[in-house]
């Protein structure tokens, strides 16, 4: 390994050959401003178009200023990041970017979380010396995402996520010069495109150009309607991230405070999507074993591998891109939808309220869940199983609007019966978790023996594609895991061509799984945050007394009292779904 | 966006052009050039076929089409009018000529009149600098055009031009 010596702001620094000036500076605590550049180290995701020029620095002996994010450190280099020339150039660049930006920060949904705003603040911009023309693209509102691209600064992070990471290819830079923005083909609405609503473009957009549809107002109205019983479910990944919105360290588990906050907001029952995740395992696990048994008996019609189906962006992805495989994924609904379905049938009956008077709100790390809850097949007589789905970020906003001092809240417990869950339900929040939860249950049901161990470390991690073989009492079960839709595509192509050797595959659209969902607190390019959230999820799992879905006493009760057995007719009706070919 | 249905023979033509370039994504610009030459313009449906053939996203194809001004998504008029914007033509008043065409036809560059007769575009130097400023209508070249002549040129192709009729 070749070593490079250089100085940055007179400080000596030693780096590996190939390191950029930006990375070298960061390594000694000098933070050069950046806008278009973004690197999610642990996920191997990088955006480096070198377009914005906010990162320029002065290099001794060079005539032109150098963009730090795409200039390699060389031996003997002397870099000055805050010479008057660098500061002035950076400010000019910033002022030019701001000159055609709609400066309505006070009412912008991104205010307080906007990289552009933060950068302008950090650089001490007090005046914009250039007056630019303002573009006036129309706002595009879809079921989950709003595009307000007058605020686009052409960093192209979203384009990279949508094309390279997700391989969906909805977004592309269009037009030129002043008019250039990132948009779908023919500037069509996202709603008409093959967009999956994974929200990864929203997760990385530095400005208010891409944001989620805001449902907080509707939730406040529902909560203040005395004729409604309003219940809430919170997805596993929310508890591992919500604290960040209140200045807590990434990876802090705030389950108890989360419950307390929801109760103070006025929800009549505070339940847990983890309960529904346990239910998903019962159904999906049974389906896996059913297909496996038939396969072992030589049934040629059985479809293997089975693919998980709890991620709505993934579902929409294969409906558009692999419609020929639409009978391969599990038919189990996602936990959000299982929860809604059971809440509006079983639980409404228990309470003695009509489904129309029961409002189900979801707190999700995800923007695709907004789209999912609106799918036609998830409503009965035009009454949706889930009425509103708000993101972790929207929940934080609700808590702030309601003057709740989050950090000072006590820890409280979920309500029964739909709030009881196991460690298997919790790990749904991270890549690898759904399949580990399924293995814990399927193993015991299949072999009739107790698992010798509960933790399957071979299924965990952050690599985009992983695989492991688990011994089911002599039957080697091959398991594949993909997160990020580009990785999913690779596994799907093998399935399509008949090359796949897996029995079961878990797929989550977001890099990292739901902990990295499009509705989570913004990571601002720091992937360590995702790693810490993942660790928190596994911590929560090990803290649970019950860690296998089939041992959840309220799940057993639900089957005994209401559903019968997994894959029963009632289960099929309430907990399973069908998929559609969306190429037509 | 109203959908048009491409004739099978058109789809075939596009496929052949793509094939000529080995269906390579990197050849997109050449493919677009060839297809536009054949069809006159690149409507959404044509871009969709190209995207499929080159195995790339239609958003990327659209991105390239909107980046380069010589690609157009609007069908050419019956009489495509092009004004040379090369240096020689420019310094001898091509811009005023262009503005006059815009005013009379009530269209912008890259657009076609609603009756489908005229479309307006700009060209880089056509090599007829001696005749600057140069205007082409279809294959016919008009040299040393002054803004005052614009009316007559249009009239030559369009007896009783509606805009003229109004002002008369
Ligand atoms: S939500 Fe996902 S699929 Fe849709 S545009 Fe954004 S990145 Fe692409
Ligand atoms: S929409 Fe946002 S992420 Fe995409 S290019 Fe514009 S500013 Fe960047
Ligand atoms: S991985 Fe999770 S957060 Fe991301 S789209 Fe799928 S369900 Fe939503
Ligand atoms: S951050 Fe370096 S060019 Fe944009």
Transcribe A366-414 into DSSP letters: -SHHHHHHT-GGGEETTEESS-EEEEHHHHHHHHHHTT--GGGPPP-PP
Residues of chain B with C-beta less than 8 angstroms from the C-beta of A175: 66-67
Looking at the annotation, which residues of A are catalytic?
284, 287, 310, 330, 369, 372, 377, 514
Q: Are residues B58 and B116 in the same domain?
A: no
In a domain, B101, yes or no: yes
Q: Are residues B97 and B27 in the same domain?
A: no
Q: Are residues B63 and B30 in the same domain?
A: yes
In a domain, B135, yes or no: yes
Q: Are residues B91 and B150 in the same domain?
A: yes
What is the atom index within ligand 1 of the atom nearest the CA of A367? 1
A335 lines ligand 3 (CB under 6 A): no
Residue A177 to residue A169: CA distance in whole angstroms: 22
**Full-model pTM:** 0.89
Q: In chain B, how many domains are there?
A: 2
Residue A144 to residue A167: CA distance in whole angstroms: 19
How far from chain centre, in Å, is Cα A440?
24
The CATH number of whichever domain residue B107 belongs to comes to 3.40.30.10
Residue among A115, A197, A201 nearest A158 (CA): A201
Q: Are A59 and A22 in contact (CB under 8 A)?
A: no
- Cβ pair B60:A188 closer than 8 A: no
Residue A127 to residue A129: CA distance in whole angstroms: 6
In a domain, B102, yes or no: yes
Answer yes or no: is pLDDT of B69 > 80. no
Contacts of residue A116, Cβ cutoff 8 Å, sequence gap at least 6: A35, A97, A98, A101, A153, A206, A207
By percentage, how much of chain A surpasses pLDDT 90?
96
pLDDT in tens, A449-467: 999 999 999 999 999 999 9
Ranges A146-160, A167-181, A278-292: which has the least confidence: A167-181
pLDDT in tens, A321-341: 999 999 999 999 999 999 999
DSSP A150: G
In the listed set B16, B46, B67, which residue is the last one of a domain according to the structure?
B67
Ligand 3 center to residue A368 CA distance, Å? 7
Residue length, chain A?
Answer: 584
> What is the model's pLDDT at position B162?
46
Residue B34 to residue A553: CA distance in whole angstroms: 68
Q: ipTM of the predicted structure?
A: 0.81
Q: Are residues B24 and B99 in the same domain?
A: no
- Cβ pair A169:B61 closer than 8 A: no
- Cβ pair A174:B57 closer than 8 A: no
- Show the tokens assigned to A26: 């960061």
Structural domains in chain A? Answer: 3-122 (3.10.20.740), 279-333+420-575 (3.40.950.10)
State the pLDDT confidence band at A103, using cuts at 50, 70 and 90: confident
Q: Are B96 and B45 in contact (CB under 8 A)?
A: no
Crossing angle, helix B150-157 and helix B94-105, to 10 degrees? 50
Residue nearest to atom 4 of ligand 1 (CA): A195
Longest Cα–Cα distance in chain A: 80
Q: What is the mean pLDDT of residues A371-377?
A: 97
Residue A280 to residue A487: CA distance in whole angstroms: 23
In a domain, B149, yes or no: yes
How close, in Å, is residue A479 to chain B by CA atoms?
Answer: 30
For B98, counting Cβ atoms within 10 Å of its Cβ (0-12 exposed, 13-18 middle, 19+ buried), the class is: buried
Q: Are residues B61 and B112 in the same domain?
A: no
Residue A104 to residue A133: CA distance in whole angstroms: 15
In a domain, B3, yes or no: no
Answer yes or no: is pLDDT of B14 > 70. yes
Q: Are residues B46 and B102 in the same domain?
A: no
In a domain, B98, yes or no: yes
Q: Are residues B91 and B156 in the same domain?
A: yes
Cross-sheet strand order for the sheet of A465-472: A306-307, A504-508, A475-483, A465-472
Residue length, chain B?
Answer: 168
Answer yes or no: is pLDDT of B168 > 70. no
What is the atom index within ligand 4 of the atom nearest the CA of A33? 1
By percentage, how much of chain B surpasses pLDDT 70?
92
Answer yes or no: is pLDDT of A243 > 70. yes
DSSP A72: B
In the listed set B43, B67, B91, which residue is the last one of a domain according to the structure?
B67
Rounded to the nearest integer, the mean pLDDT of chain A is: 96
Where in the sequence is the domain holding B144, given as residue range(s)?
79-164
Answer yes or no: is pLDDT of B68 > 90. no
Q: Are A43 and A511 in contact (CB under 8 A)?
A: yes
Q: Are residues B85 and B62 in the same domain?
A: no
- Show the tokens assigned to B31: 């493919």
Nearest CA in chain A to B67: A175
- Show the tokens assigned to A568: 């029963």
> What is the model's pLDDT at position B76?
80
Q: What is the mean pLDDT of residues B12-27?
A: 95
Per-residue HEC secondary structure of chain B comes to CCCCCCCHHHHHHHHHHHHHCCCCHHHHHHHHHHHHHHHCCCCHHHHHHHHHHHCCCHHHHHHHHHHCCCCCCCCCCCEEEEEECCHHHHHCCHHHHHHHHHHHHCCCCCCECCCCCEEEEEECCCCCHHHCCCEEECCEEECCCCHHHHHHHHHHHCCCCHHHHHHC
pLDDT in tens, A466-486: 999 999 989 999 999 999 999
**What does each C-alpha distance from B9 to A449, B14, B19, B33, B41 come to in angstroms?**
65, 9, 15, 18, 16
In a domain, B1, yes or no: no
Residue B137 to residue A403: CA distance in whole angstroms: 70
Answer yes or no: is pLDDT of A445 > 90. yes
Answer yes or no: is pLDDT of B166 > 80. no
Number of C-beta neighbours around residue A296 at 10 A:
10
Q: What is the per-residue DSSP string for A15-42?
A: EETT-BHHHHHHHTT-----SS-EEEGG
Q: Are A230 and A361 in contact (CB under 8 A)?
A: yes
What is the atom index within ligand 2 of the atom nearest the CA of A153? 7
pLDDT in tens, B107-139: 988 788 888 889 888 877 777 888 889 999 988
> What is the model's pLDDT at position B159?
63
Ligand 1 center to residue A244 CA distance, Å? 24
Residue A338 to residue A543: CA distance in whole angstroms: 25
In a domain, B125, yes or no: yes
Which of A373, A393, A507, A517 to mutate for ligand 3's pocket (most ligand atoms within 8 Å of CB)? A517
Q: What is the mean pLDDT of residues A128-143?
A: 88
Residue-wise over A142-159: b if at least 16 C-beta within 10 A, else e? bbbbbbbbbbbbbbbbbb
Answer yes or no: is pLDDT of B1 > 70. no
Ligand 2 center to residue A439 CA distance, Å? 40
In the listed set B67, B88, B105, which residue is the last one of a domain according to the structure?
B67
Give ligand 2 pocket residues (Cβ under 6 A). Answer: A 149, 152-158, 182, 204-207, 209-210
- Show the tokens assigned to A468: 């492991």
Q: Are residues B156 and B85 in the same domain?
A: yes
Q: Are residues B160 and B114 in the same domain?
A: yes
Answer yes or no: is pLDDT of A84 > 90. yes
A168 lines ligand 1 (CB under 6 A): yes
Beta bridge pairs of residue A8: A11, A79
Answer yes or no: is pLDDT of B164 > 60. no
Cross-sheet strand order for the sheet of A229-234: A269-272, A229-234, A358-364, A388-391
Torsion angle of alpha carbons B9, B14, B19, B25, nearest 10°? -160
pLDDT in tens, A34-62: 999 999 999 999 999 999 999 999 999 99
Residue A150 to residue A153: CA distance in whole angstroms: 8
How close, in Å, is residue B40 to chain A by CA atoms?
Answer: 18
> What is the model's pLDDT at position B121?
85
- Show the tokens assigned to A412: 């409280």
Q: Are residues B94 and B129 in the same domain?
A: yes
Longest Cα–Cα distance in chain B: 56
């Amino acid at each position: 390994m070749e070593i490079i010596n250089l100085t940055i702001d007179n400080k000596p620094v030693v780096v590996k050959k190939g390191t950029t000036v930006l990375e070298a500076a960061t390594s000694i605590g000098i933070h050069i401003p950046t806008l278009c550049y973004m690197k999610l180290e642990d996920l191997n995701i990088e955006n480096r178009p070198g377009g914005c020029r906010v990162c320029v620095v002065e290099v001794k002996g060079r005539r032109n200023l150098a963009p730090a994010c795409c200039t390699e450190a060389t031996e003997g280099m002397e870099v000055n990041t805050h010479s008057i020339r660098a500061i002035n150039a950076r400010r000019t660049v910033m002022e030019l970017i701001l000159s055609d930006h709609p400066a309505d920060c006070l009412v912008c949904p991104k205010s307080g979380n906007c990289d552009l705003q933060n950068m302008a603040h950090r650089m001490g911009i007090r005046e914009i010396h250039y007056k630019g023309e303002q573009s006036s693209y129309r706002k595009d509102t879809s079921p989950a995402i709003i595009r307000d691209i007058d605020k686009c600064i052409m960093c192209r992070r979203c384009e990279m996520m949508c094309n390279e990471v997700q391989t969906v290819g909805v977004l592309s830079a269009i037009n030129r010069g002043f008019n250039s923005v990132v948009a779908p083909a023919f500037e069509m609405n996202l709603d008409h495109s093959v967009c999956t609503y994974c929200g990864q473009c929203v997760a990385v957009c530095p400005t208010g150009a891409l944001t989620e549809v805001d449902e907080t107002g509707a939730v406040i109205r529902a909560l203040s309607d005395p004729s409604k019983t309003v219940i809430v479910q919170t997805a596993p990944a929310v508890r591992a991230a919500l604290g960040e919105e209140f200045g807590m360290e990434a990876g802090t588990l705030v389950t108890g405070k989360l419950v307390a906050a929801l109760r103070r907001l006025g929800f009549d029952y505070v339940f847990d999507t983890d309960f529904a995740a346990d239910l998903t395992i019962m159904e999906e696990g049974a389906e896996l074993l059913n297909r496996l048994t038939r396969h072992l008996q030589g049934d040629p019609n059985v479809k293997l591998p089975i693919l998980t189906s709890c991620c709505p962006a993934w579902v929409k992805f294969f409906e558009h891109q692999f419609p020929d495989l639409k009978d391969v994924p599990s038919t189990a609904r996602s936990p959000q939808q299982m929860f809604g379905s059971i809440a509006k049938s079983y639980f409404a009956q228990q309470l003695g309220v009509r489904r129309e008077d029961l409002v189900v709100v979801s707190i999700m790390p995800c923007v695709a869940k907004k789209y999912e809850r609106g799918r036609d097949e998830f409503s009965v007589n035009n009454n949706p199983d889930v009425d509103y789905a708000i993101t972790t970020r929207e929940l934080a906003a609700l808590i702030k609007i309601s003057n709740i001092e989050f950090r000072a809240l006590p820890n409280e417990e979920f309500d029964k019966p739909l709030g009881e869950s196991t460690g298997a339900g919790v790990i749904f929040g991270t890549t690898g978790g759904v399949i580990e939860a399924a293995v814990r249950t399927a193993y015991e049901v299949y072999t009739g023996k107790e698992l010798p161990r509960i933790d399957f470390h071979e299924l965990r991690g952050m690599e985009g594609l992983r695989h492991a073989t688990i011994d089911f009492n002599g039957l080697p079960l091959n398991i594949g895991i993909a997160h990020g839709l580009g990785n999913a595509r690779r596994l799907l192509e093998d399935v399509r061509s008949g090359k796949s050797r897996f029995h079961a595959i878990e797929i989550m659209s977001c890099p990292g799984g739901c902990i990295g969902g499009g509705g989570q607190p913004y990571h601002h390019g720091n992937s360590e945050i995702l790693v810490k959230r993942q660790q928190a999820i596994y911590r929560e799992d090990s803290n649970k007394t019950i860690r296998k879905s089939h041992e959840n006493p309220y799940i057993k009760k639900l089957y005994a009292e209401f559903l019968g057995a997994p894959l029963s007719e009632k289960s099929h009706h309430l907990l399973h779904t069908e998929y559609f070919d969306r190429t037509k | 966006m109203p959908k048009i249905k491409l004739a099978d023979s058109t789809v075939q033509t596009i496929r052949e052009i793509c094939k000529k370039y080995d269906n390579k994504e990197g050849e997109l610009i050449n493919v677009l050039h060839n297809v536009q030459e054949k069809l006159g313009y690149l409507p959404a449906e044509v871009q969709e076929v190209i995207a499929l053939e080159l195995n790339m996203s239609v958003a990327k194809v659209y991105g390239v089409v909107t980046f380069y001004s010589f690609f157009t998504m609007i069908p050419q008029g019956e009489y495509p009018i092009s004004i040379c914007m090369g240096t020689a033509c420019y310094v001898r008043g091509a811009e005023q000529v262009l503005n006059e065409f815009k005013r009379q036809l009530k269209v912008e560059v890259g657009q076609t009149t609603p009756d489908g007769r005229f479309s307006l575009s700009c060209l880089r130097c056509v090599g007829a600098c001696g005749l600057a400023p140069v205007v082409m209508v279809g294959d016919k070249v008009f040299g040393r055009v002054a803004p005052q002549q614009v009316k007559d040129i249009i009239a030559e192709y369009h007896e009783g031009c509606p805009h003229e009729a109004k002002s008369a």
